[in-house]
Structure 1
Amino acid sequence: MRGMKSRLLTRREMDDLITKPDLPSLIADLENTPYREYIIGAKGRLDGILCIEAALRDNFTNTFRKVQDFVRQEEAERYIVIFLHRWDVQNIKTILRGKNIHVTSEEIASCLVPAGEMDEATLNELLKQPDVRAVVDLLATWKIPYARPLTRAYPEFLKTKDLAVLECALDRYYYDDALASVNSPGYNNQIIQDILRLEVDVINIKTVLRMVRDRVDPEEARRYLIGGGRVFDERKLGSMLCLSSIEDVVKTLANTPYRFLADLPESSIRSQKISIIEKELERFLIRKGVGAFRLEPLSVASVIGYFWAKYNEVTNIRVISRCKTADVSPDILKEELVYV
């Protein structure tokens, strides 16, 4: 794992990518990195940002398949399976979102990352379905576990027309299942539990921020919370939902690991711009994940640290490529990246 980590791009290499004036020069520069073979493969069939997206997607998928192959039958495989399931959930959400707003299958497909247990052929069949209901029905026909929470939540989705109902059901199922798989004593299980519970906290804080901003009734808002967090139980989250402003929520976090949010500009908090707060929460989560490298090197911590570092690298390159199409200045672009 540490050998693979050494092949990740350095901060200097990432900054070099930022200075490229356009997409062709960015693609040319990526050919001088470990992404070379994937860029060359994608160039044969795609141009511009689609070429970069396809190369990153293929590299990301193959990297995790490689890791899975050399840790089979070891305890670390449990975390890899949990991590890969995350992409199954993300891909299902992406397909549901696309079908809900009637986006073309081609557009949806460009946003998928077939790194989970659902391979490209499975995802393509889901893409062929005409609407949200058909996607859920096909998952149920295939007896894919994610169909259960979606089927249970579907009647409520029909009433509310709010896709968040289905997405929350998926998240709740994923984290309940993941935490249950590592609930026995042991150093490795504890490390995995800690990062999962941290993720649940971050998701719940984001939910609270949106609900308070939109003045959703606290009782109604509770339905969108997920259990299993490290810092916030149902009672604490419920009291936060009753607050009157984003500013009050941030103040409530002063005595928690999320006190860093109080350092954000007051103007952005007062203006209810939760996207800025969400960005900081993402940075916090990524740094905590990558920070696992500092734990016991012969434990699952190395796998966790590498996965988060790789995820962050791919995310940063995607941000750079998209900003190049929008002619964003290098200084502003740097602010959008997470350096670890």
Structure 2
Amino acid sequence: MRLLQRLKHGLNSQKSRPQGHSNYAYTTARVRAMKSKLLPQETYPRLMNMQIAEITRFIQEVEYKEDVDQLARLYEGVDLIEHALNRNLAVTFTKLISISEGELNFLISEYLKKYDIWNIKTILRGKRCGASTDEILEAVVTAGRLSYTFTSELAAKSTYEDVIAALSTSEYYLILKDYNGENLSEIENLLDKKYYYDLFQSIGNPKSKDRKLFNKFIRTDIDLKNLVTIFRLKKYGISDPSAADLLIEGGLKLKIRDIERMLSLSFEDFLSELEKTPYWEEISSCCSVKMDSLIDLETRIKKLRLKSAESFSHVYPLSIVPIMDYILSKENEVGNLRMIIRGKAVGLSDEEIKNQLVI
């Protein structure tokens, strides 16, 4: 059965409607205060000059103090920072859900279900490569609907079959039941498609300003995700039409049929086609036929995503957009901190780490 049919016939395909009014003024005011506490750009060069123990002390003095204090008796070094960052992200996003109401709460909750998808994928990957429960839990972020207790229990399961059995009553089971231990990339792709399908179901036919803004935000996100995917396919010389299954439908500026057509083009012609898109200006300086790595490109796309959300946030200050802007900015801060500590732990040079920071 095709994905769309499977989703339509799923146990949880019917979305509950939000109840009550949306408290935009209150929530956006709280979010502005939260965003003001994010690390300023000039912090990152300072962190680059610190050792891991010094970075731990630094983040303990700012917004991550409670997280480090709570976990210091269980972990140390890089492991402590990893778990503290993940805990902080989960606590922060759970707070967004708790302070919002009505439609706003509904849309934020639906958006943050991406962390349920992330955690399920992480656990299945861990089971496939024989990772320990602690190693798996280093990478999970319980900011969605699956609780930390339940997610921890999933991570502790002996086999992937046990994990899927524990999820048999979840909305993800219709996809997960087809996992055979070998087709993980296919399952992950279907989970991603389900996530965006459900988001569009939640938005419905957007008539209110807020739903229209949220719809545009999600569709832009799909464009940028597809852009990274097509570059990866082109870099590795994959032009098989079946590779188009990796693309997500619903983008704002990049239509699936246009991206599919690009798959068959030479890399040079592919870049020429991209020049016609609104994203070219931001990524053109790192795109060439002789591209050795996609790191710079992916960093530029992340910056473009942040820049787009921030610009919309200023135009629509009393809407869901400032909240989406904050979520992306918070994720980016955690991603930068993680990149620095991981880079230092494996001995990357400062230049290599710097090139992967999104500042």
TM-score (norm 1): 0.89
What SS is found at the alignment partner of 1:112?
A: coil
**Match for residue 218 of structure 2 among 196, 200, 223:** 196
Question: Which residue does 1:86 correspond to in 2?
Answer: 114
Give the SS at the match of 2:75.
Answer: coil
Change (3 A) 1:290 1:119: farther
Query: 1:126–1:138: 8 Å Cα contact kept in structure 2?
Result: yes
Structure 1 residues 162 and 287, CA gap change in structure 2 (3 angstroms): farther
Does the alignment pair 1:261 with 2:283?
yes
Percent of aligned pairs with the same amino acid:
28
In structure 2, what is the Cα distance between the partners aligned to 1:307 and 1:224? 25
Q: What is the rounded CA distance, in whole Å, between the counterparts of 1:68 and 1:109 in structure 2?
A: 23
Q: 1:217: Cα distance to partner?
A: 4.7
The answer as to whether partners of 1:86 and 1:116 remain within 8 angstroms in 2 is yes
Matched with 1:318 is 338
Q: CA RMSD in A?
A: 2.1
Matched residue, 2:38: 8
Is structure 2 residue 185 aligned with structure 1 residue 164? yes
Q: Distance in 2 between matches of 1:292 and 1:36?
A: 31
Aligned to 1:148: 174
Match of 1:17 in 2: 47
Check the 8 A contact 2:203/2:215 in 1, yes or no: yes
The question of 1:50 aligning with 2:71 is answered no
Structure 1 residues 324 and 217: alpha-carbon distance in aligned structure 2, compared to 1, 3 A threshold: closer
**1:294, distance to aligned residue in structure 2 (A):** 1.2
Distance 1:150 1:199 in 2: 25
277-286 or 29-38: which moved more?
A: 277-286
Please list, as runs of the form range in 1=range in 2, the aligned pairs for 1:189-228 lying within 5 A after superposition. Answer: 189-228=211-250
Alignment check: 8 A CA contact 1:146 1:170 kept: yes
Could you tell me how far 1:81 is from its partner in structure 2?
0.7
Q: In structure 2, what is the equivalent of residue 302 of structure 1?
A: 322
Q: 2: CA distance between counterparts of 1:137 and 1:221?
A: 30
Kindly report structure 1 stretches of 4+ aligned residues shifted beyond 4 Å.
Answer: none
Distance across 2 between alignment mates of 1:135 and 1:226: 26
1:292–1:310 distance in 2 versus 1, CA, 3 Å: farther
Q: Deviations over 1:277-307 (max 9, x none)?
A: 2332222223323434213211112211111
Question: What amino acid is the match of 2:213?
Answer: I
Judged with a 3 Å threshold, the aligned counterparts in structure 2 of structure 1 residues 201 and 299 are, in CA distance, closer, same or farther, namely same
Whether the 8 Å contact between 2:86 and 2:139 is mirrored in structure 1 is no
* Structure 1, 211-220 or 189-198: larger mean CA deviation: 211-220
How far apart are residue 176 of structure 1 and its match?
0.7
Q: Which residue of 2 aligns with 1:106?
A: 134
Corresponding pairs, count: 327
Counterpart-to-counterpart distance in 2, 1:162 and 1:117 = 25
Of 90, 102, 107, 1:61 maps to: 90
Q: What residue identity is the alignment partner of 1:49?
A: V
Q: Taking structure 1 as reference, are residues 37 and 110 closer, same or farther at Cα in structure 2, changes over 3 Å only?
A: same
Cα 1:290/1:321, change in 2 over 3 Å: farther
2:83 counterpart letter in structure 1: A
Structure 2 gaps of 5+ residues are: 1-30
Q: Which runs of 5+ in 1 are unaligned?
A: none
Aligned pair in 2 of structure 1 residues 26, 128: CA closer, same or farther (>3 Å)?
Answer: closer
The one of 123, 137, 144 aligned to 1:95: 123
1:171-222 residue CA offsets vs partner (Å, 9 max, x unmatched)? 1000010012113311111111112111211222222223333343532212
Q: Which moved more, 1:168-177 or 1:296-305?
A: 296-305
More helix by percentage: 1
Matched residue type, 1:223: D
Deviation at 1:331, TM superposition (A): 4.3
Q: Helix, strand or coil: the match of 1:255?
A: coil
SS of residue matched to 2:79: helix
CA distance in 2 between counterparts of 1:38 and 1:103 reads: 24
TM-score after normalising by structure 2:
0.84
**Quick check: 2:111–2:199 contact (8 Å CA) kept in 1?**
no
Residue in structure 2 matched with residue 119 of structure 1 by the alignment? 147
Letter of the aligned partner of 2:96 in structure 1? V
Show CA shifts across 1:3-39 (max 9, x none): 111111112233322221x111111122221212222
Kindly provide the CA deviation profile for residues 91-114 of structure 1, in whole angstroms up to 9, marking residues without a partner as x: 111111112222222211111111
Q: Which one of 99, 118, 125 corresponds to residue 70 of structure 1?
A: 99
Instruction: Answer yes or no: is the 8 Å Cα contact 2:287–2:297 preserved in 1.
Output: no
